A and B are shown apart, each in its own frame.
Chain A
Amino acid sequence: DQQVKQNSPSLSVQEGRISILNCDYTNSMFDYFLWYKKYPAEGPTFLISISSIKDKNEDGRFTVFLNKSAKHLSLHIVPSQPGDSAVYFCAASAGSNFGNEKLTFGTGTRLTIIP
């Protein structure tokens, strides 16, 4: 039972344009969401997060949007750069007390930025 779903295994975007990565979840108890970026042969690195009390969080070129009613979140990268080419994982947690809950990850979306 995949509680966090990234339905697009891959995405190609022209350099300079906007990249939009999508993530859906089924567990209504999830209230904290994160995006990780992973390069080949490296571990995932934390990118940006959002709490369920917000619907948007912005950090430089990266913005995460949360639609709680639709159980959907998205990561926007503007403008997209070649170095953004990586696999992006969406993750969710129930409860901000990380001592009790571990993250549930999606299957990842491979983003390729075309120069």
Chain B
Amino acid sequence: KAGVTQTPRYLIKTRGQQVTLSCSPISGHRSVSWYQQTPGQGLQFLFEYFSETQRNKGNFPGRFSGRQFSNSRSEMNVSTLELGDSALYLCASSSLPGGTPLETFGSGTRLTVV
């Protein structure tokens, strides 16, 4: 069965711009979580959506937002990009809320802010 699909795979943006990343979960999975991976901080939890509702939120500024659609696909938006937002953004899906360690991760979107 198809895994978690994240688009685009790579993205280059300039400071001050905004960006939207997309995640399509495994068919039937209703929970989608987003993580940011940077060399210095490792993997940090951004937020989780389940059935179109945000269930959990990590410690990130309000510039980071997300949403989930009725088909469980999720988007993550970052406004007013900063150089420090350069990272690999990973999406994970599971059939249950919370989900870990049952989450399946996508391959990520590598965002570079210049």
* Interface residues on chain B, number (Cβ under 8 Å): 29
Say whether A107 contacts B41, CB under 8 Å: yes
- Complex partner residue of A107 from B42, B48, B98, B105, CB under 8 angstroms: B42
Chain A nearest CB, measured from B49 CB (Å): 13
In the complex, B44 has a CB within 8 A of chain A: yes
- Is B24 interfacial (CB-CB < 8 Å)? no
Q: Is B32 an interface residue (CB 8 A)?
A: no
Q: Indicate whether B40 reaches chain A with its CB closer than 8 angstroms.
A: yes
**Number of contacts between A and B (CB, 8 Å)?**
63
Q: Please judge, given known A-B contacts A41-B107, A42-B107, A43-B106, whether A102 and B45 are in contact too, CB under 8 Å.
A: yes
| B100 sits at the interface (CB 8 A) | yes
Is B58 a contact partner of A99 (Cβ separation < 8 A)?
A: no
Other-chain residue from A46, A97, A99, A107 in contact with B101 (beta carbon distance below 8 A): A46
Chain A contact residues, majority secondary structure: loop
Is B39 part of the contact surface with A, judged by Cβ < 8 Å? yes
Chain B contact residues: over half helix, strand or loop, or mixed?
A: loop
| Interface hits, A1-26 → B, CB 8 Å | 2, 4, 6
A4 to B43, CA, bound (A): 11
Q: Which residues of A contact B25 (CB under 8 A)?
A: none
Q: What CA separation (Å) do A105 and B35 show in the bound complex?
A: 10
B98: chain A residues within 8 A (beta carbon): 97-102
A interface, how many residues as a size bin? 20 to 34
Inter-subunit contact A93/B100 (CB<8 Å): yes
Q: Which of B26-51 contact A (CB under 8 A)?
A: 33, 35, 39-45, 48
**B100: chain A residues within 8 A (beta carbon):** 34, 91, 93, 98, 102-103
Contacts of B45 in A (CB 8 A): 102-104
Q: Does A27 contact B (CB under 8 A)?
A: no
Closest 8 CB pairs of A and B: A43-B105, A98-B98, A105-B43, A107-B42, A99-B98, A102-B45, A46-B101, A105-B42
Q: A residues touching B (Cβ–Cβ < 8 Å)? A: 2, 4, 6, 34, 41-46, 49, 89, 91, 93, 97-108
